[in-house]
Amino acid sequence: MGEKRLGLLVLYASQTGNAMDAGERVGREAERRGCSSVEVLSMDVFDPDCLPLELIVIFVVSTTGQGDVPDSMKEFWKFLLRRNLRHQWLHGLHYAVFGLGDSGYQKYNFTAKKLDKRLLDLGATPIIEKGLGDDQHRSGYEGALDPWLSSLWSALNQTFPTIISSDSDSGLSQIGTLDQVKFQIIYHGSDNVQQSSSIMKDYNNKEKVIEEARLMSPARYSHDDSRPHHFLKMVVNQRLTQVDYERDVRHFEFEAHSSSIDYQVGDVLEILPSQDPVAVDAFIQRCNLDPECYITVQPRSVNKHLNDVVGPVKLRTFVALTMDIASASPRRYFFEVMSFFATAEHEKERLQYFASAEGRDDLYQYNQKERRTVLEVLEDFPSVQLPFEWLVQLVPPLKTRAFSISSSPLAHPNQVHITVSIVSWTTPYKRKKYGLCSTWLARLDPHSSTGVHIPAWIRRGLLPPPPPSLPLILVGPGTGCAPFRAFVEERAVQSLKCPAAPVLFFFGCRNEDKDFLYKDFWFSHAQEHSVLATKHGGGFFVVFSRDQPHKIYVQHKIKEESEKVFRLLGEGASIYIAGSSTKMPADVTSAIEEIISKEAGITKESAVLWLRRLEKAGRFYIEAWS
């Protein structure tokens, strides 16, 4: 083993950006406390084989879905679970774990808990007890992060006084100097760019522009994403719910624009949404930027410079494609940096208060709870004029939105379908807000003369494609039916060539005549010789929660079909659950445990273990979203 690196490494695994933000805050505070060697990295860009060479590692990890690790942590976690790693493999490594989760979920902060246990098993030494951030706290995850960090710095100072200084009480409100900005902007003269025929040729290629703009985005350095992207043409935009119904659910169909789409059932389609041009123009005007100038964005640290030559792109294009200015809320650090540039004293004081530990709760109410956007925050503090370098660093990156694929490539070659609920909600202060991607998709006209081409990526989902010989129990209320439309389509095509195992599908919605998604599709596949036919041991079961005085949900219907469910489990069936991540997965899981207990004549505790064994054997899957 080589010598230990005498510094501090922060590894984060983020799904929505919160863990990345918390990890960067750990790194900033370590630098402010005198640590000369601090590295902050996403887990998917760190080689876990090098972990024993580190002296101090702080892990900041979020939990997604039903206790799952974030995508950026999957390979890292797989490595840590290797059986050939000896018991003392991490002897001499000092670590701390902070988790981000939601106590409303069944497996609260599961990722942080199992990471902490595995590091202990491998011989690492904990610096302090793991911290567990909770979205349900009135300050969000920072309610736990603030005191946890204070304990961390105090413990590190006692153990490694030469690395971390003793000034553990210096809160954000006492920070007197502005950190160095991490990115630099190179401005190119319009005349020079216009005269370069190769640049202008690329600039007229929309795919090339999107690729180059996003290659320059700071988000590129936060995770490793080398997946090929597709340009998809929208060919169908169909409303599935009744026009007079409050919930708008759409069926979208896309065709590949230039290359074939390679995917399988259970996969997820990630779409890069377009921002409202009015909002982009308002942001550029508010920040006194020149939308027509050409720029190249580069990190200041030499080791992070691009190896490939990227850019330049128009400033307006860069903002529109990489900076989420009118959807995501800015982070706490955004307010701290703003305070340095506020020229009005009352604004400076308010921003410093928001950035302090004392103002944390009020900031959470003002910012996250209200889902204030970057543009709204900037308009609330008119004296602040942030340099573009800081805006590039601090504005949340424009992210892709993920949707379960609701089509089978066997049934629809070179097409991909998704089922989307158009998101809207009212904030605590009665402000109407809309989901960026879903609202944008709903407004697109596939029959427009210019055509609608959408940048998209395919990634593996949590529901592996089942072979035709595998019996299935599928539970997908609401838009949770999306992946199972794909499963049923696939099995229908497969059954034409060979005998297919039976499928039970449980669907639920509010009203039969308002939001019965894909009604004709399910009934057509429940016919005598089809995939969901009861004649062959399968079945389609639907409940409408609001069509009677008392509410009925899918878990009630599952228990009604107790014998069928248990018989199919006895025949080796796999269970797949998809839909809302609130109560549904837990309620359905509990119903299946009751069925096993009743039909097998065993205790509820034994039924829980029975289902857990099923999960370990790869026969029980949940894909849930909020």
pLDDT, tens digit, 9 for 90 and up, residues 45-86:
999 999 999 999 999 999 987 788 988 999 999 999 998 998
Reduced to 3 states, what is the DSSP secondary structure of residue 546? coil
Inform me whether the pLDDT recorded for 224 exceeds 50. no
Read off the pLDDT band of 452 (50, 70, 90).
confident
Residue 401 is assigned to a ligand binding site = yes
Nearest to 456 by CA among 222, 216, 251, 257: 257
Residue 384 is assigned to a ligand binding site = no
Separation CA 56–CA 194 (nearest Å): 50
Q: Are strands 94-101 and 131-134 parallel, antiparallel or unpaired?
A: parallel
Specify the pLDDT at position 308.
53
Residue 601 is assigned to a ligand binding site = no
Residue at 53: amino acid letter: L
Residue 64 is assigned to a ligand binding site = yes
Inform me whether the pLDDT recorded for 208 exceeds 60. yes
CA distances from 165 to 168, 326, 561, 602 (A): 7, 39, 64, 58
Contact 491, 415 (CB under 8 A): no
Residue 63 is assigned to a ligand binding site = yes
Residue 552 is assigned to a ligand binding site = yes
Contact 101, 581 (CB under 8 A): no
Residue 400 is assigned to a ligand binding site = no
**b/e burial code for range 364-375 (CB count within 10 A of at least 16 → b):** bebbbebebbbb
- What angle (nearest 5°) sits at the alpha carbon of residue 399, between those of residues 393 and 402? 160
Residue 294 is assigned to a ligand binding site = no
Residue 553 is assigned to a ligand binding site = yes
List pLDDT tens digits, range 514-547: 999 999 999 999 998 899 999 888 999 999 999 9
Structural domains of the chain in order of their starting residue, each with its CATH number:
5-170 (3.40.50.360), 182-204+274-399 (1.20.990.10), 225-272+401-461 (2.40.30.10), 472-625 (3.40.50.80)
Adjacent-strand bridge partners of 577: 475, 622
Residue 5 is assigned to a ligand binding site = no
Residue 570 is assigned to a ligand binding site = no
> What's the 3-state SS for 378-414?
HHHCCCCCCCHHHHHHHCCECCCEEEEECCCCCCCCC
Q: What is the mean pLDDT of residues 422-427?
A: 93
Read off the pLDDT band of 337 (50, 70, 90).
very high
Q: What is the mean pLDDT of residues 295-313?
A: 70
Q: What pTM does this model have? A: 0.88
Residue 505 is assigned to a ligand binding site = no
